[in-house]
Amino acid sequence: MDLLENLLLIGLLVAISAFFAVSEISIAASRPVRLSVLAEEGHAAAARVLALQAQPGPFFTLVQIGLNAVAIMGGIVGEGVFSPWLTTVLAPLLPETYLETVSFAASFTVVTSLFILFADLMPKRLGMASPERLAMAVSAPMSLLIRWLRPLLWFYNSAADLLFRALGVRTTRNETVTPDEIIAVVQAGADAGVLAEQEHALIENVFGLDARSAPSAMTTRDSVVFFTLQESEESIRQKITSRPFNRFPVCDGSIDHVVGYVDAKDLLNRVLAGQSLSMKADAPINPLLALPDSLTLAEVLERLREAREDFAVVINEYALVVGVITLNDIIRALVGDDVDQVQEEQILRRDEHSWLVDGATAAADVMRVLDIDDEDGSEHYETIAGFMMYHLRKIPRRTDRVDFAGYRFEVLDVDNHRIDQLLVSRLSADGEISAKG
């Protein structure tokens, strides 16, 4: 063959190698979720790509046979094409002693460069840029080649399987999708502008329900408005007027002896009917669902759904009431409104480097506002007061402090062993409180 025919043959080999390279990278990089959506929409090519991904052995065997065979043929043809030509070109410039060696090296460099650039680098970069589209384009010819060469592929694939089994190497891919991976995909969608900021926050909060405990979203014990069986009608009227909630727990003497709850609508009906509001006078007391404080918000939501309730009392291991939680509390946690409320009511920013924090504030909310990762210790406490007790290893007193994650937590006020208020200050690099500014 003359020079032109050899060049065309090399071009053909480069094109074949590029086809195998783009097939390999595009099918491997294609997202199964995206392909499943396309397959459900009726794209047969997407279904073929999914089939190749499900049984990757024959596919990758074919790719490697193709790439290696073409590379060997390209080296043979290229050396035969370029070496004589380069020898002629370089003869006037080099001594005869080095001419053959230099011509061979130059020929090898030219052929290798052609394959690296046009048969490997460019096709693989294209395959990574548009994996699903290119995978669907090459799926038909690849499937056809696999059928034609099935005996040969079976031989090499079986040999590889035997070696992997002998070595104890697992070759099946784990397709399990973790919450962290979903959040990472959502974050990528938000960064690309596909998801709005509110949608991104909502999806993250959905997965956050499994990480947040019930006390992080409940109304704490000190803020619960409840009635007692012995309470006067006038006292009940004052509580309803000052704190118009939809549900009120009913207790026998103290909040730790809950007997049920009353609905504000039922109380209104009694007022309209001219009946007494006293809890002793045949009050419409409903059974109240009790939940342990160890549950996550996702588990609380499931328990409320099973019980067909939207209101529950939260108790600790000593059967003491630590708060109440409603379906609305979980919804606020889901949409993120609770964070804004905490920042406004329980976490007051004094300046750029300090905050005043109510001791009953959920520790998870404080850590979120301060952007602190406290996964290792968060299981030991629920509130920021509990955080202080855990780190101090004693009942906190005024001026006690804890330095943690670049912040100083200092007790400002204590009421009957209960931390009322904390001052949180950002620390500088030298461990001192950052200056205002």
pLDDT in tens, 124-183: 898 888 889 999 999 999 999 999 988 988 898 888 888 888 888 876 666 666 767 777
Arithmetic mean of pLDDT, 300-329? 92
pLDDT, residue 289, reads 94
Arithmetic mean of pLDDT, 26-47? 89
pLDDT, residue 223, reads 85
SS (H, E, C) 188-252: HHHHCCCCCHHHHHHHHHHHHCCCCEHHHCCEEHHHCCCEECCCCHHHHHHHHHHCCCCEEEEEC
**Per DSSP, what are the bridge partners of residue 362?**
383
Q: Where are the alpha helices (DSSP H) in 309-350?
A: 327-335, 337-345
The one-letter code for the residue type at 389 is M
Beta strands in 23-154 (DSSP E): none
* 10 and 111 Cβ atoms separated by less than 8 Å: yes
pLDDT, residue 378, reads 67
Convert 63-81 to b/e letters by CB count within 10 Å (16 or more is b): bebbbeebbebbbebbbeb
Can you give the length of the chain in residues?
437
* 339 and 346 Cβ atoms separated by less than 8 Å: no
pLDDT band at 345 (very low <50, low <70, confident <90, very high): low
The mean-pLDDT minimum among 142-151, 197-206, 347-356, 404-413 falls in 197-206
pLDDT, residue 6, reads 73
Radius of gyration of the chain (CA): 36
Phi/psi at 70 (5° precision): -65, -40
What order of strands is seen across the sheet that includes strand 418-426? 347-351, 354-358, 418-426, 407-415, 401-404
* Cα–Cα dist 92/95, whole Å: 8
* Cα–Cα dist 324/221, whole Å: 7
Compute how many other C-beta atoms are within 10 angstroms of the C-beta atom of residue 15. 13
Query: Measured between alpha carbons, how far apart are the two ends of the chain, in Å?
Result: 80
* Helix, strand, coil percentages in the chain from 3-state DSSP, rounded to 5: 55, 15, 25
Arithmetic mean of pLDDT, 364-375? 81
pLDDT, residue 3, reads 67
Burial of 33 (C-beta count, 10 Å sphere; 0-12/13-18/19+): exposed
* Cα–Cα dist 344/361, whole Å: 12
* Cα–Cα dist 194/241, whole Å: 47
pLDDT, residue 437, reads 43
* Cα–Cα dist 178/181, whole Å: 5
**Does pLDDT of 374 surpass 90?**
no
Percent of the chain with pLDDT over 90: 24
**Does pLDDT of 409 surpass 90?**
yes
pLDDT, residue 261, reads 92
pLDDT band at 2 (very low <50, low <70, confident <90, very high): low
Which two structure tokens, joined as six digits, stand for 35? 């392909």
**To the nearest whole number, what is the mean pLDDT of the chain?**
84
Q: Can you tell me which residue has the tokens 């009906």?
A: 269
The one-letter code for the residue type at 300 is V
